[in-house]
Amino acid sequence: MTSLRRGITGALLTGWVVSLSWAVAFGDGKDSQELRKFREDFIRSFHRIAINTTPGDARLLRILIESSGAKRGVEVGTATGYGALHMGWGFERTGGHLITIDIDPKMVEAARENIKTMRLEDSVTVVQGDALKVLPKLEGQFDFLFLDAVKRDYLRYFKAIEPKLVPGAVIVADNVIRFRNQMLDFLQTIEDDPNYLMVVVRASELKRDGMAVIYKLK
């Protein structure tokens, strides 16, 4: 727990210092070569903690968002925002927006600071709260969903937002190999529903795990 707190504090301090230097160097320009270089450097030096998305997985999330042209996404389980930074960058390029949810106020604070540092506030909104209570209250429809929170609750998260997922939506669920036994009900529900196609991929060599990538047909 001490290392987790240290990681969160490090993320906050890093974001605060770098955001000041960014403002001085680049002003408010968007998608410039300098901004892209800054973002790449910031992500490369990001103080990741154990529960953050791995670099390979985060890049895959961005690829899925940009290649599908997703416009409205939801992430359940923000942590300090490493995955949200990649997804937010993707949504900025598609003209879309990500809502990311976490119940831990310290995680939310760190994620908001990191998103501010990356100048992605227009593309990412961090919501503090219990996802099982937040998801039913979200308005509108969504075409991208990333689940990376309490594994045994994946099916409950999915059911809470499923009516709002449009045809063609992409759903990604993390840790489906390592924690498979905690989400068997979710995986079986998807497998049994002819309206969904699912494949498990491993995008990172840093962990012996994988993500389920799911496509909603109609």
Domain positions in the chain: 2-216
Higher pLDDT, 29 or 192: 192
Residue 13 clears pLDDT 70, i.e. is over it: no
Which range has highest mean pLDDT (11-15, 36-40, 48-52, 137-141)?
137-141
Distances (CA, A) of 193 to 5, 180, 184, 198, 214: 41, 18, 14, 10, 11
Average pLDDT, the chain: 85
Residue pLDDT, tens place only, 151-178: 999 999 999 999 999 999 999 999 999 9
State mean pLDDT over 96-125: 95
CA atoms within 13 A on the CB side of 10: 11
Residue 3 clears pLDDT 90, i.e. is over it: no
| pLDDT, position 31 | 59
Residue pLDDT, tens place only, 112-155: 999 998 899 999 999 999 999 999 999 999 999 999 999 999 99
* Euclidean distance between the first and the last CA atom of the chain, given in angstroms as a whole number: 43
| pLDDT, position 203 | 77
| pLDDT, position 65 | 98
Residue 19 clears pLDDT 50, i.e. is over it: no
Residue 21 clears pLDDT 80, i.e. is over it: no
| pLDDT, position 52 | 65
| pLDDT, position 54 | 83
> What residue has token string 């209570």?
133
Distances (CA, A) of 58 to 36, 42, 62: 17, 14, 7
Residue 15 clears pLDDT 70, i.e. is over it: no
Q: Which of 33-47, 97-111, 138-152 has the lowest mean pLDDT?
A: 33-47
The CATH superfamily of 2-216 is Vaccinia Virus protein VP39 (3.40.50.150)
State mean pLDDT over 9-30: 40
Q: Which of 101, 106, 68 is nearest to 84 (CA)?
A: 101
- pLDDT range class, residue 22, cuts 50, 70, 90: very low
The helix (H) or strand (E) run that includes residue 191 is helix 184-192
Amino acid at 21: S
